[in-house]
Structure 1
Amino acid sequence: MIVTPDSLRAAGFKGVRIVGDVHGDVRGFAAAVAGAEAAGLYIVQLGDLTDHGSDGPAVLRMMFDLVEAERGLFLLGNHDHKLRRALAGEKIRIEAAGLGRTLDQMAAAPDAAALRERAMVHIGRAPAWLLIGRLFCVHAAFHDAMLLHPAPPDAGTRKAEGLVGRAIFGQVTGVRGADGFPIRLTGWVDRIPPGLTVLVGHDNRSRDGRPLILTGARGGRAIFLDTGAGKGGALAWRDFRLEEVFVDAPQGHAAAMTD
């Protein structure tokens, strides 16, 4: 399915629900999905489905079911990319409370082998960015070159470099803050063209438990939807009616393929 406002309307959806980083918060994600289905909304999840939270396998099953039913998709996040590398047997650094917890949960799942295969397939196909009308969805950071190039169909299977690296890791500094997490820049917000809303996750920049909204120098805006789900915070999402998505849509490449 190609995801555009027209294709969503033709499929009977009334709008889209953009969901931030889940990180294994199955209760929060179940609530987001149930609410979206009741309202007739298509789900776009911004990546980082697992690690840290109570039930990563349940979150994966729920998301993969949505993709297979063409009722939603998820973008490639850095944690998803790393999970696939680990499942493929690559030697990587594993944080005990993060990826280590997810791998233990998956190994103990009754459908461990099937879930591993589903994860390999779905993460391998996950788009690194997605343009839907005037909404631009990406896990970590926007670059205006993404408007000129569709996301690679196999980004999840590749080394994350170039625009894919920017999409899943953000604009990195190589420095870590007092909390141990990397310090990343947000100067890319000034590159967002007028009429475009960029929705990202990756960093919890909220000061009050609600998504942070920034307006850039060109008039575009960014909404940061990571509010700490799976790490002690709540899961955040934003809903958009299809009528809103059509308004002042910037020109760009066709929306990414989801299958």
Structure 2
Amino acid sequence: MERIQTYGIRVVGDVHGDLNAFQHATATDRFIIQLGDLIDHGPNSAGVLELMLDLLEYKRGLFILGNHDRKLGRALEGRRLRKDPPLEETLSQLAQPEYASLIPNIYKAIASAPTWLRIERTFFVHGGFHTAMLSQPPLPGLGEITAPLSRALFGETTGRMQPDGYPERRLSWINRIPDGMTVYVGHDRRSTNGRPWKCLGRLGGTAIFMDLGAGKGGHLAWVDINDF
């Protein structure tokens, strides 16, 4: 893309309804690649979605589908989902008159959002990397859950639940990132110092975790990439 070649990329982590932070993150000429989970938990998920639609319309950015975005898409399809208070709050915001007319465009954006993206030796995905992503195009995010799509949306889990009620996650997928490749990922809040967490895998690949808890008491992270 011309904008990427001219200005570079800004990678933005999980937003979770923090509109004020997202406005600051997107106040740039760089092309925005947001890593998913635009919505839920924070105060203004509807406003975040409206801003993302503007970025898409003017070809200033895109978002990778996250698991929270997928849940919203399925809810807008009329599917019955488990009780989820953060999603219910997002739906309540979208039902307000100033946002209700945007719902068809929001659904279209979610249905067409890439579930992973590769640009040269750099990967962008919400939950985690799977080696199948090296040889196949992104799968439809609202379609049937396969191993690569599960990894893209939910990361790698052990099958056990943590005391907080969330699935226990593991990071062995980092060791399968090829040498020289960098994977930017959200979903998993791993940082202990308020900065994106960088981890080198056994094959020489690198994972950079961008979720710093925006909308959940933390803050929004972004990283600028120039070498494209």
Pick the TM interval, shorter chain. Answer: over 0.9
1:198 CA drift (Å):
0.2
Is 1:55 aligned with 2:49? no
Which of the numbers 186, 190, 199 marks the counterpart of 1:214? 199
What is the aligned length? 228
Identity of aligned residues (%): 49
Q: 1:193 to 1:69 in 2, by over 3 A?
A: same
| In structure 2, C-alpha distance between the alignment counterparts of 1:20 and 1:174, rounded to whole Å | 25
CA distance in 2, matches of 1:169, 1:183: 11
SS in 2 for 1:105: helix
Residues 8 and 15 of structure 1 are in contact (CA less than 8 Å); yes or no, is this contact kept in structure 2?
no
1:200 to 2:185 alignment: yes
- Equivalent runs, 1:138-177 vs 2, <5 Å: 138-152=125-139, 155-177=140-162
**Residues 1:194 and 1:8: Cα distance change in structure 2 (over 3 Å):** farther
CA contact (8 A) 1:206 1:227 kept: yes
Moved over 6 A (4+): none
Residue 46 of structure 1, aligned match among 5, 24, 35: 35
Offset at residue 228 of structure 1 (A):
0.3
Change over 3 Å in CA distance of 1:109–1:139 after alignment to 2: farther
> Which consecutive residues of structure 1, in runs of 5 or more, have no partner in the other structure?
1-6, 246-259
- Output the amino acid matched with 1:64: L
Which residue does 1:116 correspond to in 2?
103
CA RMSD, aligned part only? 1.4
Once the two structures are superposed, residues 38-92 of structure 1 have per-residue CA deviations (whole angstroms, 9 ceiling, x without a partner) of xx31000001100000100110010111111111000111111110111111000
Structure 2 spans left out of the alignment, 5+ residues = none
Shift of 1:109: 4.3
The answer for the alignment partner of 1:239 in structure 2 is: 224
Name the amino acid aligned to 1:181.
Y
Report which stretch shifted further, 18-27 or 167-176: 167-176
Partner residue in 2 for 1:129: 116
Alpha-carbon distance in structure 1 between the residues aligned to 2:68 and 2:145:
12
Which of 102, 112, 127 is the aligned partner of 2:90?
102
The amino acid of 1:8's aligned partner reads E
| TM-score, with length taken from structure 2 | 0.95
The alpha carbon displacement at 1:206 in A equals 1.3
Deviation, structure 1 residue 12: 5.8
Question: Deviations 1:223-258 (Å, cap 9, x if unpaired)?
Answer: 0000100000000011100x2x4xxxxxxxxxxxxx
For the 8 Å contact 2:141–2:149, the answer to whether it is kept is no
CA distance in 1, matches of 2:54, 2:83: 27
Structure 2: how far apart are the matches of 1:128 and 1:65? Answer: 20
Deviation at 1:133, TM superposition (A): 1.9
Shift of 1:161: 2.2
> What amino acid maps onto 2:124 in structure 1?
C
Checking the alignment, whether the CA contact within 8 Å between 1:8 and 1:42 is kept in structure 2 is no
Report the Cα distance in structure 2 between the residues aligned to 1:56 and 1:158, rounded to whole angstroms: 24
TM-superposed CA distance for 1:176, in Å, is: 2.3
Residue 70 (structure 1) aligned with residue 70 (structure 2): no
Q: Does 1:8 align with 2:23?
A: no
